[in-house]
A and B are shown apart, each in its own frame.
Chain A
Amino acid sequence: QKEVEQNSGPLSVPEGAIASLNCTYSDRVSQSFFWYRQYSGKSPELIMSIYSNGDKEDGRFTAQLNKASQYVSLLIRDSQPSDSATYLCAVKGNNRLAFGKGNQVVVIP
């Protein structure tokens, strides 16, 4: 099993809709979880961090963590064309930060 998995293919959402991204991880002792946004040709940018079970909201973004199921998700509400990017899930374990391969989101005006 890969360390951090993001299995969904490209996600197309209409402008104003909710985009939902999922991520699973294999290391049960992981304690820090992050979502990064990467525009094409640019560097990853941290948009959310979450450390305890439950939901964490920041503006239009909500991160959800379920350690028992080893599952992290990201919701983007009221999606905008500027949200079109690749979203990377990252999990900290053993002094390292491991990334999933990312999910591309395309917001259709």
Chain B
Amino acid sequence: EAQVTQNPRYLITVTGKKLTVTCSQNMNHEYMSWYRQDPGLGLRQIYYSMNVEVTDKGDVPEGYKVSRKEKRNFPLILESPSPNQTSLYFCASSFQVNYGYTFGSGTRLTVV
């Protein structure tokens, strides 16, 4: 089944403890992206990647890191999480940037 897989689905962590949210797609998509979704603010792009080893900042990149060493994987790294990063995170991929995205199931992160 064609899909974008995110893990974990739910995560509660403490301020300052490094964490990684994984994202993997099995559709051979070139384009991958991370979004966060907050009430009243909608979906905001964190980082995106046009292809392997090519990443760029989105609207709200502060406090996040990404890497794209393989085409299928695009992990999101929070080096020192803070409570304002409590949010619902979505990974998405598409064949090319002009095509519609397929979204993962989401990761609900709580930083206390």
A-to-B contact residues, CB < 8 Å:
31-32, 34, 42-46, 49, 51, 88, 92, 95-102
Contacts and interface: CB of A to CB of B under 8 A. Distances in A.
Which 3 A-B pairs rank lowest in CB-CB distance, beginning with the nearest? A101-B42, A43-B103, A46-B100
Contacts of A95: 48, 50, 56, 97
A92 B106 CA distance: 22
Contacts of A31: 98
Given A34-B100, A46-B102, A99 B56 contact: no
For the complex, would chain A's binding face be called helix, strand, loop or mixed by DSSP majority?
Answer: strand
A64 B100 CA distance: 17
Contact of A46 (B43, B50, B101): B101
Contacts of A102: 42
A34 B97 CA distance: 12
Given A31-B98, A43-B106, A49-B100, A88 B48 contact: no
B90 A101 contact: no
Contacts of A45: 103
Given A44-B90, A49-B100, A96 B48 contact: yes
Given A43-B106, A92-B98, A96-B48, A101 B56 contact: no
B97 A88 contact: no
